[in-house]
Amino acid sequence: MTSKSARGVVLDTIRRIPPFTALRDAEWQRLVPEIAIRSFPEGVFLFFEGDPPRALYVLLEGHVALIRHTAEGRDVVLDIMRPGSMIGELAVLEGMPYSASAKTLTEVRAVVFTRDQFMRLLQTYPQMATAVIYDLVRRVRHLSDLVQSLAIERVEQRLARILLRLMKISGEPHERGTLITLPLTRQDLADMAGTTVETTIRTLSRMRREGIVDTMRGRILILDSARLTHLAEEGR
């Protein structure tokens, strides 16, 4: 067990992300033994909407979708969380049930704090509040964009926007363009765009016919991001 054990390497990474950069070295050293790192497979829920706020997660690797479920069985994707962001903060901060479910889109590694633990940390190290604030600010901005998109744009435009965002989040260079590495079904995309699977498929098929994207089962390849940007911004 050297100082550069697997855990040691991960801790070095953690040290550099927002909630923890605020700490002084002495504080950090005191915190280290408390840090629980956990891994989750793809496609599982960290928590469900309505659950009591047991834990807060700081995402280290992978992606997590925040999802609302409706009584009629439809889902709405509120946001996709990337490494460095906090998950479950609203519920933990207010002591209220989670207002959305958190589902892993990939394998995930995260620091897990119990509610008590995190609240204590926040009291002990008020500088950590800054990280919470910037995380919330990012979410407000994203949700505002989403509201605007849902309120005034048509499905094609919304999907174009979503594809561009996914490209930024998880795009990987590919010989013919950029591959979106997140494994998303048509239903997932529909839940992000506030539409149905069928409409999503028809829209994506049109984009494929026009050479804007290429699609495989669960994978999307962006061929012409310029056209896509045009679609997202001009609407046609």
Partner DNA sequence: CGTTTGCTTGATACGTATCAAAGTTGGTGG
Partner DNA sequence: CCACCAACTTTGATACGTATCAAGCAAACG
Give me the residues that bind a copy of itself (CB under 8 A), please: 68, 70, 72, 74, 76, 78, 89-90, 93-94, 99-100, 126-127, 129-130, 132-134, 136-137, 139-141, 143-144, 146-148, 150-152, 194
Least distance in Å: CB of 236 to DNA?
9
Question: Which is nearer to a copy of itself, 141 or 206 (by Cβ)?
Answer: 141
For 83, the token pair is: 């490494």
d(CA 184, CA 177): 18
The nearest distance, CB 235 to DNA, in angstroms, is 10
Residue 149 near DNA by CB under 7 A = no
Residue 12 is encoded by which pair of tokens? 């070095």
Q: Pinpoint the alpha helices (H) of 56-176.
A: 89-94, 115-124, 128-152, 155-170
Q: Is 84 in the site for DNA (CB under 7 A)?
A: no
79 touches 86 (CB < 8 A): no
Residue 55 binding result from a copy of itself, DNA, none, given CB thresholds of 5 to 8 Å by partner type: none
Interaction of residue 154 with DNA, rule CB under 7 A? yes
Question: What does 140 interact with, of DNA, a copy of itself, none (CB < 5 to 8 A by kind)?
Answer: a copy of itself
Output 40 or 125, the one with its CB closest to a copy of itself.
125
User: Helices 128-152 and 115-124, interaxial angle, to 10°?
Assistant: 120
Q: Which of 197, 223, 227, 230 binds DNA (CB under 7 A)?
A: 197
Could you list the beta-strand ranges (E) of the chain.
36-40, 45-47, 55-61, 64-69, 75-81, 86-87, 101-104, 108-114, 171-174, 177-180, 213-216, 219-222
Cβ at position 103, least distance to DNA in Å: 12
Q: With contacts defined by CB under 7 A, how many residues of the chain interact with DNA?
A: 19
Residue 164 CA: distances (Å) to CA of 77, 101, 168, 231: 16, 24, 6, 10
Residues engaged in binding DNA (CB under 7 A): 154-156, 185-187, 194-199, 201-202, 204-205, 215, 217-218
